[in-house]
Structure 1
Amino acid sequence: MASGAVSPAFAYTIVYVRDVEKSAAFYAAAFGSAVRRLDQSHKWAELESGATTIAFTPLHQRETDGLSGEVQLPDAAAARDPVEVCFVYADVDAAYRRAVENGAVPVSAPEQKPWGQKSGFVRDMDGNIVRIGSHVRE
């Protein structure tokens, strides 16, 4: 490591969504996260999510529109984003049921994976994949 270099701290995962307020409310209901912040413009929301922050911003947020072009949401029927959000729970089955009961679209029911994690998958209201899993213990 170079002299004087600073170690990074992972700060945010930002999810681009159609409606920031509705997405924050959906995640709160479906995954049990509290909304930490919803700004007055409704162009930014944050969830209480542990050491890092999950944030929501509009698809066409002016601060980022010029960086890489238009954000494309996945086609819920056929596509999958290269990034997924994962929440870890002690009771994966109950968390999966809660998510589906609160509007998450089932993708695959929880099952035990060979690497020691129990996980299931749902889609949020914008078609993004959310993994509901257990913590993997070594």
Structure 2
Amino acid sequence: MASEAMSPAFAYTVVYVKGVAKSAAFYSATFGYTVRHLDQPIKAHDQKMWAELESGATTIAFTPLHQRETDALTGAVQLPESAGERGPVEICFDYADVDAEYRRAVDSGAVPVSALEQKNWGQTVGYVRDIDGIIVRMGSHVRA
């Protein structure tokens, strides 16, 4: 009898950013997350190399766009070449009061991409860009 394979737990989303501390502070102020961990700066770079947000069962983490370990192992991070392009990943957050949270995000420095809009499946959705140009989808909870 073959044993059933367990699905792996989704542990981290790592976001490559220009400034780790700045991005962690931005996500805390803009989207309501608490910074769980922020590395001390590495003296040679005077830049923090890792931050994590308190985000439930999975972790949202930040690391510099370019770092020796990641670039050497998996290649350099490729950024969009213009404001009309976006990266291959979108971050999505759902809120009980998406109207208030969308306003807070924009007031905190997120750049509006599209205003909140009611979708035909019952969800209200809007899009903003973070300080690194990453698209963040903000939505209401979908009711079954």
Pairwise same-fold verdict (TM > 0.5): yes
Matched residue, 1:39: 39
Q: Is the 8 A contact 1:76 1:127 kept in 2?
A: no
1:14 maps to 14
Identify the residue that residue 131 of structure 1 maps to in structure 2: 137
Q: Which runs of 4+ in 1 moved over 4 A?
A: none
Tell me, yes or no, if structure 1 residue 50 matches structure 2 residue 60.
no
Q: Say if 1:75 and 1:127 are closer, same or farther in 2 by CA, change over 3 A.
A: farther
CA distance in 1, matches of 2:122, 2:7: 30
User: After the TM superposition, which residues 1-138 of structure 1 pair with which residues of structure 2 at under 5 Å, given as runs?
Assistant: 3=3, 5-41=5-41, 42-75=48-81, 77-138=83-144
Q: Structure 1 121/75 Cα, relative in aligned 2: closer, same or farther at 3 Å?
A: farther
Bigger CA radius of gyration: 2
Identity across the alignment (%): 74
Q: Which runs of 5+ in 2 are unaligned?
A: 42-47
Counterpart for residue 45 of structure 2: none
Question: How many corresponding residue pairs?
Answer: 137
Deviation, 1:76, is: 5.8
Q: CA deviation at 1:75?
A: 4.5
**What is the CA deviation profile of residues 76-99 of structure 1, one whole-angstrom value per residue up to 9, with x for unaligned ones?**
621122211111111111101100
Q: Secondary structure at the match of 1:56?
A: strand
Cα pair 1:73 1:126 within 8 Å, conserved? no
Report which stretch shifted further, 110-119 or 2-11.
2-11
Q: What amino acid does structure 2 have at the position aligned with 1:94?
A: A
TM-score, normalisation: structure 1: 0.92
Could you tell me how far apart the structure 1 residues matched to 2:128 and 2:104 are?
A: 11
Instruction: Give the stretch that moved more between structures: 54-63 or 12-21.
Output: 54-63
TM-score by length of 2: 0.88
Q: Compared with structure 1, are the counterparts of its residues 19 and 123 closer, same or farther at alpha carbon in structure 2 (3 Å cutoff)?
A: same
Cα drift, residue 68 of structure 1: 3.1
